[in-house]
Structure 1
Amino acid sequence: MTAPLQYRICALDPAAHLFAVTCTVAGPAAGGQLFSLPAWIPGSYMIRDFARHIVAIRAEAGGRAVALEKLDKQTWRAAPVPGGQALSVHCEVYAWDLSVRSAHLDRTHGFFNGSSVFLRVHGQEHCPCEVDILPPADAELADWRVITAMPPAGGVRSHAFGRYRAADYEELIDHPVEMGRFTVYAFEAAGVAHEIALSGRHDCDGERLCADLARICQWQIDLFGAPPPMDYYAFLTMVVGEGYGGLEHRASTALLTSRADLPWQGMKVPTDGYRQFLGLCSHEYFHTWNVKRIKPAAFVPYDLSRENHTALLWAFEGFTSYYDDLALVRSGVIGVDDYLGLLGKSISAVLRGPGRKRQSLAESSFDAWTKYYRQDENTPNEVVSYYAKGALVALALDLQLRAAGQGGSLDEVMRVLWRRHGSGTPGVPEDGIFAAVAEVGGTALARWLRRAVEGTADLPLARLLKPFGIGWRAAAAAALPWLGVKFASGAAEARLATVYSDAPAQRAGLAAGDVLVAIDGLKAATANAVDALLGRRRPGERVQVHAFRRDELMCFEVELGVPPADQVTLAALPRASVAAQQLRRAWLGQ
């Protein structure tokens, strides 16, 4: 039997944000063992070069130092060691990234993803792994606990430091770990234990949160069919003053949320922030099936040393983005009106992006590594979100399947994918989604889907929603002449963050980074001041705009435009036909 790889991690110096990590290999390669750290983490499609956070590294065997040669930015080779001797590599890892992607450590808590701290042992990726998670030495932190979905290796109590195990390296780095003084709330869904840990100050109504999450999780399990593909699930949540983010894992998720977005005792009506947090939890939980197990063939196996390109992120992230809020309404956590409000905002966000006319969803998926995750001032003009528009494609597909009256739906497509690729053949080929849609809804619909994701046309959502008794209203977001710019948020000046393609400001020569100072000779030092001055003008009028570009004052003549009708409002029509109401209830569950 192959000896497990042994890992050890402890909070070496919380004040200096340093984890100490050891990897011990019982049978290193005879010619010199290779080690590396991943360049990216699954679920976040950007090269992050986690090895840059290693501040010290050394190797030893039999109590003696072993030479380590660095081969590239993330790979080391240890010198050969005498036969029968174990080889250990010791690292110190700087952990000061308060996000769901990497690692963070101070005297309030510790968090890490395995991809940012655990070395890969080349040639032994399929060996079982054991990791000792050790408590900080500081006596003042003696009350810290641990929560992770990684199974204990035996004898470890719940939430205790000690030894944990994983079947192989891929599983090892797919179980994030939170340590500190967190609050834990528990609930069950389909008989499976679920826990949510909140790290940070909060006044959360845990009973309400658990009740809502239980309904959402149960609905998703029912969608794919019980039992779920895990026997325990953990929501690891870092609570901060202002923040938002999530990253999926096979039996857990790492979350970042603003404390104001959590429910509190006596909250009568769910706030927008709480609905957003529930949507985030729902999104990451849905990934338990869609992308963690039903995944692109390009990810089987993951190559964590470089980009793994696929044109299918519109399905894995976009379909998940469709189901995240849909699960809220179908499980009864929110009402139909609330859901239609959220859906209207999603449609509006897509319509406001000129990039939807330049980039297809397939292109957006493939170029996620270099475009979507590396945004700049021109991103809205050249990129479409495979999350947001992918969700609208899922909506359009679901509506067409349901309206056809043959009992089909996107739910059935997801179940086909689950049977075929989640618990069957691993890896969805690049045409696999189209094949599943053809099986459920026919080849004509599959051809429509291909055109939708490979082209740039707007989706006919108003027409598709009509048979469901959903009214569509599109209007300008504000009753102001259109300048066609986005101001930098939080800036104390009227600085342009983006100038939209073919908009009045761009045609006049204004550019991102310019700071507006006057309109027609009147001071316009803030975005609000600009809006106030434009409120006295009409579309078609010309105004003189003074702006600084770097340290040069420039003057531009802008012909104001008609604001686009990109604010969409949806409503359930009270006098819809019986057939429309039946379709709507079957779709939304209410």
Structure 2
Amino acid sequence: MRVIHLAVDLREAPRNLIHAEVYLPVQPGPTATFTTPVWIQELHAPAGPAARVAGLRFFSEDRVLRWQRDPINNAEYHVDIPAGVDTVLVVFDAVITWKVTRRMVRLGWEHVLIYPAHRDLEKTAVRAAVTVPRSWGVATALENLGRPVVSYTPDGEGKRLLYHTTSVLRLADSPVLTGLHLAEYPLTADGRHILCVAADTEDSAVVPQETLDKISRMVAQTLAVFGLGHYEIFRFLLALSDYGEGYFYGGYEHHDSFEAGMPRDGLADSVVLDDKGYLVAHEFIHSWCGKFRRPAGHAPRNFATPLDGRLMWVYEGLSSYYEGVVAVRSGIMSRETYLAKLGKKVAWLQGQTGRLWRSLEDTGTGASLSWMAGGSTWANWLRGTRDYYFEGVLLWLDVDALIRSKSGGKRSLDDFTRDFFGQGKRAGSRVVPYTLDDIVEALDRVFPHDWRALFESKVLDVSPEVNLDGIERAGYRFQYEGEPGVGRDTDNATKEAIWNSVGIMVAEGGQLQDVRRGGPADMAKLAPRQTIARVGGSPYSLGALASEISSKRQTDDDGRIRLTVTQEDDGWDVEIDYRDGLRYPRVERRDSAVDMFQSILAPEKVCMMQ
């Protein structure tokens, strides 16, 4: 088998440029077709790099080869191949913007991959090398294949790491984290779980022992829930920076690693960890739920086949349910924060008016449409992809609570996940797809119930009402209150309370990002892209708007909230008919009800020999 050779230079990545050179074997013939990736599994969308490829040239020795982009499949390139040529050199720059700072880079290989089109990428071999500044550290799951060969550039300023040959699929599933301040921390005694941290400063790369202990417990609790880990060594690739942009602060799942971004103090500050540490659990869980086992439509052997987004409420929804459960069980998140976040999810879902016309399943089936949806304008009416995360939490809480209550506490959703995702033995990098039938059959093995009917009513059918059955079965209730919880009086909480009340999402300066369809502000004909200039006769401020809404609560006057609104060169007065004040979500214990969260959030007995 002939091998693709890929060389990537990251030394100018802080300038948003990655330089790539690729040697591609070709067959005899007048034309060869190459492609960059199109469908990216962890993004559930056709988010490939074709639009960010610059300076693309094809060479045979010193000769520049003629190429044409395919007019239909724009990620494909048809290249004229001279007689006798068996290798083509491809040179290009990848323009990147959101996984890089001046002191660190998160390289997803999909940004720099080009390969023969229409191939089984599991059977297409590649050997990759990456060049970084000499003083930078590097971490990647490619090290599971063996130590890289290290050399230095002629000027002595760069360090080149040449990794072992693997498949294109495996390479794409093995991102690189590199940075000036990079540290590694073993999380388990067997050395199979390693936290790799790149940070803005040397000090911020130091992870407190208390945090390491929590993450170690998270590993143990995840293994207890999902069974054997289907990897040799798992690397947690975490970038800690206050200089990231956009999607920098998200996470991206892979089979034996994940890469994610958090604020600089994300691991050092217990308050930030309590709020955002669930991300570490979520991406680790994906090694089982999303990588080893994934929906059948999410398991193609190339990056050209469109992804089937059905069952995202399992892939992302189940992972989102357990991110909070595992975070609490391990001490990363407090029980109070868990319940507060649960309440915010319910409030968010109640504000998604698109649930009047769009099923939960459809938010996954149409997940790729969110890339074309146009930001926040009427986003609630469109009902986007966040719903299969958030509503998935409520769905699987419902399933868990139902199993626990019907079985008298003898069985739980943990029994399903251990059976379905653990399978009693390590499966390596193999992918085992599943269907809805497989989910139903596995749940029936844990506890017989009409699971298909539950999923049809809660997932497949349009369901205008948010599913509160799990919360109520767990002995709690959801409600709105007029004041924020203790320690939660923040600008973000105020903005959310305004959304939950009059139905406007306010940005800086009073600009309206979204208006809840059918809500009080919609009835007053407010719309996204308008700006609130004055509140009750005073200049706009977030505090003034919140006070105005609160002051009209159950008043004896006409109770109308008076605003002056502008758009383009126009300005006009608006009256919103609303008298219920600010609404802060709360999940609270019901008197005399059994507190099922005591058992749901209680740590599992663990054995780290997994």
Cα displacement (A) at 1:450: 2.3
The aligned amino acid for 1:559 is D
Correspondence for 2:439? 433
Give the conservation status (yes or no) of the 8 Å contact 1:153–1:163.
no
Q: Distance in 1 between matches of 2:411 and 2:355?
A: 29
Q: Secondary structure at the match of 1:165?
A: coil
Uncovered stretches (5+) of structure 1, i.e. residues with no partner: 136-140, 265-269
Q: 1:464 to 1:296 in 2, by over 3 A?
A: closer
Distance in 2, matches of 1:497 and 1:304, equals 34
Change (3 A) 1:533 1:566: closer
SS of the residue corresponding to residue 235 of structure 1 reads strand
SS of residue in 1 equivalent to 2:43: coil
Are the equivalent residues in 1 in contact too, given 2:240–2:266 (CA < 8 A)?
Answer: no
Tell me, in whole angstroms, the C-alpha distance in 1 between the residues paired with 2:562 and 2:466: 38
* Contact 1:381 1:500 survives alignment (8 Å): yes
Residue identity over aligned pairs, in percent, reads 18
CA shift for structure 1 position 181: 1.1
TM superposition shift of 1:585: 4.4
Give the conservation status (yes or no) of the 8 Å contact 1:68–1:76. Answer: yes
Moved over 4 A (4+): 152-155, 157-160, 332-335, 419-425, 463-468, 477-483, 563-566
Opposite residue 527 of structure 1, the aligned amino acid is L
Letter in 1 for 2:573: C
**Matching of residue 218 in structure 1 with residue 213 in structure 2:** no
Matched residues in 1 for 2:406 and 2:398: separation?
Answer: 12
Structure 1 residues 18 and 292 mapped into 2: Cα distance closer, same or farther (>3 Å)? same
Please report the TM-score for the alignment, with normalisation by the length of structure 1.
0.86
Aligned to 2:90: 89
Q: Does 1:410 find its partner at 2:413? A: yes
Q: How far apart are the structure 2 equivalents of 1:394 and 1:262? A: 28
Q: For residues 206 and 129 of structure 1, do their structure 2 counterparts lie closer, same or farther at Cα, with a shift above 3 Å needed?
A: farther
Change (3 A) 1:237 1:425: closer
Hey, what's the Cα distance between the residues in 1 that align with 2:261 and 2:566? 37
Aligned residues: 561
Does the Cα contact within 8 Å between 1:40 and 1:115 map onto a contact in 2? Answer: no
- Asked if 1:517 corresponds to 2:520, the answer is no
Asked whether the 8 Å contact 2:564–2:571 carries over to 1, the reply is yes
**Distance in 2 between residues matched to 1:566 and 1:354, nearest whole Å:** 19
Query: Structure 2 length as normaliser, TM-score?
Result: 0.83
Distance in 1, Cα, partners of 2:330 & 2:561:
52
Distance in 2 (alpha carbons) for counterparts of 1:429 and 1:220: 23
Equivalents in 2 of 1:279, 1:310: separation in Å?
Answer: 24
2:568 to 550, 555, 558: 550
Aligned partners of 1:198 and 1:297: how far apart in 2?
35
Q: 2:139 matched to 1:147?
A: yes
Shift of 1:439: 3.6
Residue 380 (structure 2) aligns with? 380
- Deviation (angstroms), 1:512: 1.6
Which stretch has the larger CA shift, 161-170 or 276-285?
161-170
Q: Is the 8 A contact 2:550 2:582 kept in 1?
A: no
Q: Tell me if the contact between 2:5 and 2:22 (Cα under 8 Å) persists in the aligned partners.
A: yes
Q: Which residue of the partner structure matches residue 341 of structure 1? A: 340
Task: Tell me how far 1:211 sits from its aligned partner.
Answer: 1.6
> What is the CA distance between 1:70 and its match in structure 2?
2.0
- Say if 2:457 is the partner of 1:446: no
Q: Which amino acid aligns with 1:391?
A: V
Distance 2:333 2:531 in 1: 42
Structure 1 residues 381 and 561, CA gap change in structure 2 (3 angstroms): farther
Q: In the alignment, does 2:598 pair up with 1:588?
A: no
Counterpart in 2 of 1:132? 129
Distance in 2, matches of 1:473 and 1:17, equals: 46
Equivalent of 2:503 in 485, 506, 515:
485
Distance 1:29 1:185, change over 3 A: same
Q: 1:138 maps to which residue?
A: none
Instruction: Please give the root-mean-square deviation of Cα atoms over the aligned residues, in Å.
Output: 3.1
Q: Within 2, Cα distance between the matches of 1:58 and 1:531?
A: 57
Q: 1:506 maps to which residue?
A: 522
Alignment CA distance shift 1:231-1:158 (3 Å): farther
- Decide which moves more: 22-31 or 280-289: 22-31
Contact residue 213 and residue 278 of structure 1 kept, 8 A: no
TM-fit CA distance, 1:477: 4.7
**Partner Cα distance (2:225, 2:189) in 1:** 12
1:365-407 Cα shifts (integer Å, max 9, x gaps): 1111113773432112331611001111011111001111163
Structure 2, unaligned runs of 5 or more: 152-158, 485-496, 604-610
Contact 2:274–2:337 (8 Å) recurs in 1: no
The equivalent residue for 2:403 is: 401
